[in-house]
Structure 1
């Protein structure tokens, strides 16, 4: 193949790839249906048909100066396909064919022969291979979950090895006046040197076609189509009266077999629009949606019940073993008041006393129930221009060094809250004491809860 062929090949390959991957990117994963994994996407096909040395687009017959002088003669054409379906709209297909293309002069008296006296030509396509992008165009059974009839178009890029032979008679007999594989082809026309192939010419071609598929079963489909093949060769039929790129077409029929488990649908015949419509209109699915709504409503009610806290102590009613505790009472995880030593048996609001600020395990984050206590403390400090000492403590879990840092962080968390509330930082002293001065035993969880604290001293 010459530079022109390589250039056209690259352009056509880029076009096929761009169209294919754009289509794949657009519809690669049909999220409504769970993706390609739930479908069968591979298929193989066998096909056979006839060729003709022109196309439905019209134009000059490849082996003659005018249409009518040289007539079409059908030749056989057959092959195999392997296809991967990337979405319900697009797939890539590898196609291989072989066969013959024929044309002849039907009138020996009035119609001229070619320059070398040929009156018929036969081109043997020893092999032709192409990579095609296949685009699904539409369906007849539009509102069914699976299509039964699909229309498609394809465009691709290929290479073929062929040998044109021209005969002196119009019935493909008599002397061979041209044979690409014979010595006279090189001596007279000098074409074989350009091919670089002793027996065949290598030619690039672009197949463009349309077709229709009929679903016969879950595995087998009938495939009918028409393809125009535009080659990059002006000697497809041997030397002719004009120098132009030749073309031919083929009509074919065949069977396509979908590979994979029969439990899965074929992506080729899947109709996502109809599937979506069916799912939206399916009474059983609507009932399932309503059941799910009911379950969600029940779940929301359960969550509301679990989060209900009538006495506002931070423990939900379902787990509160001491309901109705007075506002501001320091409680443990079960909602019961924490018993402090006698020295601290004062109620919040007593002159100069504020209950310790409690913390969760291994945490220096203030609980929301502490905000009201700290707001009252901040107001009192600002109104009286007073000072306060914050002593942070931790329970005995972990190392002493870790607990010292944790207690300091707890004291500083309280200090930062007061500063944010408008208290001067210089009037606040925050110190961490780690595991020192426990107010209850660290051998029980109830005691450890009490020890995770910041004491407020004025």
Structure 2
């Protein structure tokens, strides 16, 4: 092989390697649910077909400057394949073949071996391909009819790099008979014809080639597929059919048909015919998946019921029924964390100018908050009515529990007293008749050592 062959070989190898690694990396991502382990990925194939000494890409033939002197002739070609599928899009294939490539010259006056002294005129040529081996990247182009999961059809393309051992023989007659005017079997590797120095293993000439092809597979069963294809094989060898014009680069095509057998357990699907959409469709139809979905719905329903139970508060005291130890508490009644009414010291003196004997419970607040609780509205609305009717005055004393600094709690207690005052003013009570003060942590009505005590200390007292 010359430098040009080595260069083309390196380029083709790089292309196959790059595409192969890219697809292999993609295959690391699991398909749909199960990933590659849920499929069968190895297969072997047998194939047979015919060869022709040309390709669809066109160009002149090996013998002579004029196209048409050397004509196509059919030769036999057969072989084996071993393939590893890395994803539903890409696989690597090891292919081995052997057979013959034939052609003949219909113009009896044409001197095919012009310039090669002592060989005579060739009328036909037969190249025996004793063996050809290549590594191919196989690209799945599309699986059709995949929803039925039967008789699937899959189109593919392949490109690779290989080496063949061949021996061309040229004959004096155009029917591959008569005198052999060219046959170097047993002589390859020797110095022949001056500047020609063919290399090989004596019986065969070794040539690198690049196979490029397309095909289609028909799924006959879960194990067997019918494989039909066409491959063009390109070389950098001008002795593929024996001596020819110097600028010729040998090529040939083969059309084949065969059977491919998928290896592995029949309980697994064939990754060659796999399609992510079909897999998703199948798994959604799977009864076991439906059962899991239904079980999940029941668990969600149970969880929703539990949430409803935990949030239900029949008496509106802010404590859910599940934790309320004193259900049915009248609206507006201050309660502790267990939902029971909070007991406050009795206030002896009535509010100035408010109906004698009237008692208003302290207004409670949440931790670190001066926002009025909705449970306080009933008490404050009653106070608003009596103050407007009696045109009296009232004193509001704000307090806080002992969490935080004293200065912070003093300001918080003032904010609480002003929050109550603002509610009364909004209700129609004259601001001048309301005095609001904050006393911070002073005068606790319960111990700040417990949460129940601290709840009671977060308050605004209503007095004269």
Relative to structure 1, the CA distance from residue 438 to residue 144 in structure 2 (aligned partners, 3 Å threshold; closer, same or farther) is closer
CA drift at 1:246: 1.6
- Specify the alignment match of 1:91 in structure 2: 90
> After the TM superposition, which residues 228-239 of structure 1 pair with which residues of structure 2 at under 5 Å, given as runs?
228-239=232-243
Relative to structure 1, the CA distance from residue 23 to residue 201 in structure 2 (aligned partners, 3 Å threshold; closer, same or farther) is same
> After the TM superposition, which residues 6-405 of structure 1 pair with which residues of structure 2 at under 5 Å, given as runs?
6-16=6-16, 32=32, 34-63=34-63, 65-88=65-88, 90-105=89-104, 107=106, 109-115=108-114, 116=116, 117=120, 119=122, 120-138=124-142, 142=145, 144-170=147-173, 171=176, 174-175=179-180, 177-179=182-184, 182=187, 186-192=191-197, 195=199, 201-273=205-277, 295=298, 300-311=304-315, 315-325=319-329, 329=334, 331-332=336-337, 335-337=338-340, 357=367, 372=372, 391-392=402-403
CA drift at 1:243: 0.9
CA drift at 1:178: 4.7
Secondary structure of the equivalent of 1:186?
coil
What is the CA deviation profile of residues 49-71 of structure 1, one whole-angstrom value per residue up to 9, with x for unaligned ones? Answer: 33222123433223554454333
CA drift at 1:27: 8.4
Relative to structure 1, the CA distance from residue 69 to residue 457 in structure 2 (aligned partners, 3 Å threshold; closer, same or farther) is closer
User: For the Cα contact (< 8 Å) 2:112–2:244, is it kept in 1?
Assistant: no
What is the CA deviation profile of residues 224-265 of structure 1, one whole-angstrom value per residue up to 9, with x for unaligned ones? Answer: 211111223233223212413221111222221112221122
Report the Cα distance in structure 1 between the residues aligned to 2:206 and 2:409, rounded to whole angstroms: 83
User: For the Cα contact (< 8 Å) 2:49–2:257, is it kept in 1?
Assistant: yes
Relative to structure 1, the CA distance from residue 355 to residue 275 in structure 2 (aligned partners, 3 Å threshold; closer, same or farther) is closer
Report the Cα distance in structure 1 between the residues aligned to 2:3 and 2:95, rounded to whole angstroms: 24
5+ unaligned residues in a row in structure 2: which ranges?
Answer: 347-359, 377-394, 417-437, 442-446
Report the Cα distance in structure 2 between the residues aligned to 1:125 and 1:255, rounded to whole angstroms: 22
Give the alignment's Cα RMSD to 1 decimal. Answer: 5.0
Report the Cα distance in structure 2 between the residues aligned to 1:109 and 1:10, rounded to whole angstroms: 41
Q: Pick which of 21-30 and 182-191 moved more.
A: 21-30
Report the Cα distance in structure 2 between the residues aligned to 1:48 and 1:350, rounded to whole angstroms: 101
Report the Cα distance in structure 1 between the residues aligned to 2:74 and 2:65, rounded to whole angstroms: 19
User: For the Cα contact (< 8 Å) 1:136–1:150, is it kept in 2?
Assistant: no
Relative to structure 1, the CA distance from residue 176 to residue 273 in structure 2 (aligned partners, 3 Å threshold; closer, same or farther) is same
Relative to structure 1, the CA distance from residue 48 to residue 72 in structure 2 (aligned partners, 3 Å threshold; closer, same or farther) is same
Report the Cα distance in structure 2 between the residues aligned to 1:34 and 1:246, rounded to whole angstroms: 47
Report the Cα distance in structure 2 between the residues aligned to 1:415 and 1:203, rounded to whole angstroms: 93
TM-score of the pair, normalised by structure 1: 0.65
User: For the Cα contact (< 8 Å) 2:138–2:158, is it kept in 1?
Assistant: yes
Secondary structure of the equivalent of 2:272?
helix
Secondary structure of the equivalent of 2:43?
strand
Secondary structure of the equivalent of 1:188?
coil
User: For the Cα contact (< 8 Å) 1:356–1:456, is it kept in 2?
Assistant: yes
Report the Cα distance in structure 2 between the residues aligned to 1:304 and 1:164, rounded to whole angstroms: 87
- Specify the alignment match of 1:399 in structure 2: none
Relative to structure 1, the CA distance from residue 152 to residue 298 in structure 2 (aligned partners, 3 Å threshold; closer, same or farther) is same
Report the Cα distance in structure 2 between the residues aligned to 1:291 and 1:417, rounded to whole angstroms: 57
User: For the Cα contact (< 8 Å) 1:341–1:439, is it kept in 2?
Assistant: no
CA drift at 1:124: 3.8
What is the CA deviation profile of residues 368-420 of structure 1, one whole-angstrom value per residue up to 9, with x for unaligned ones? Answer: x99657xx9xxxxxxx999977534xxxxxxxxxxxxxxxxxx37x959977x
Aligned length: 394
Report the Cα distance in structure 2 between the residues aligned to 1:417 and 1:109, rounded to whole angstroms: 121
Secondary structure of the equivalent of 1:111?
coil
User: For the Cα contact (< 8 Å) 2:63–2:112, is it kept in 1?
Assistant: no
What is the CA deviation profile of residues 70-110 of structure 1, one whole-angstrom value per residue up to 9, with x for unaligned ones? Answer: 3334443333322233443x222322223233334355833
User: For the Cα contact (< 8 Å) 1:60–1:67, is it kept in 2?
Assistant: yes
Report the Cα distance in structure 2 between the residues aligned to 1:133 and 1:178, rounded to whole angstroms: 35
Report the Cα distance in structure 2 between the residues aligned to 1:219 and 1:428, rounded to whole angstroms: 89
Report the Cα distance in structure 2 between the residues aligned to 1:416 and 1:58, rounded to whole angstroms: 96
Report the Cα distance in structure 2 between the residues aligned to 1:300 and 1:336, rounded to whole angstroms: 24
Relative to structure 1, the CA distance from residue 355 to residue 293 in structure 2 (aligned partners, 3 Å threshold; closer, same or farther) is closer
User: For the Cα contact (< 8 Å) 2:95–2:136, is it kept in 1?
Assistant: no
Secondary structure of the equivalent of 1:217?
coil
